[in-house]
Amino acid sequence: MAWTEPEKARFRALWAAGETVSAIARKLGKSPSSVKYHRKALGLRERDRTPLERTVRVGMDDDTYRLFRSKARRAGQTLAGRLRALVLSDLNEP
């Protein structure tokens, strides 16, 4: 079912206020997957979870950031560990 303009406006306000996806879904009576879909459809950026993530994301679009995050997880690293490994590998290259 399509979202109405008042629902979209309320969603934008809740997102800007820092509400979680699950909280927004509950308040709007929508599913979390619908909220995630509309976040992207309305052009709202995925939120960062920590100060490090905000730093890592500078200059990255959502897809690039997700790829970076998934590579870190597959390597069993934290984002900080992955970033440290990339920096050190760049420093060691001639």
Q: Which residues of 14-24 are buried (b: 16+ CB within 10 A; e: fewer)?
A: bbeeebebeeb
Q: Distance between CA atoms of 35 and 23, rounded to whole angstroms? A: 10
Give yes or no: residues 56 and 86 share one domain.
yes
- Mean pLDDT across the stretch 83-90? 76
DSSP string, 51-91: HHHHHHHTT--HHHHHHHHHHHHHTT--HHHHHHHHHHHHH
Q: How is residue 32 written in tokens? A: 């979390």
Give yes or no: residues 69 and 87 share one domain.
yes
Q: How many domains does the chain have?
A: 2
Domain holding 25, by residue range, is 5-41
pLDDT digit string, tens, across residues 49-83: 666 666 666 667 778 878 888 888 888 877 777 77
Give yes or no: residues 35 and 63 share one domain.
no
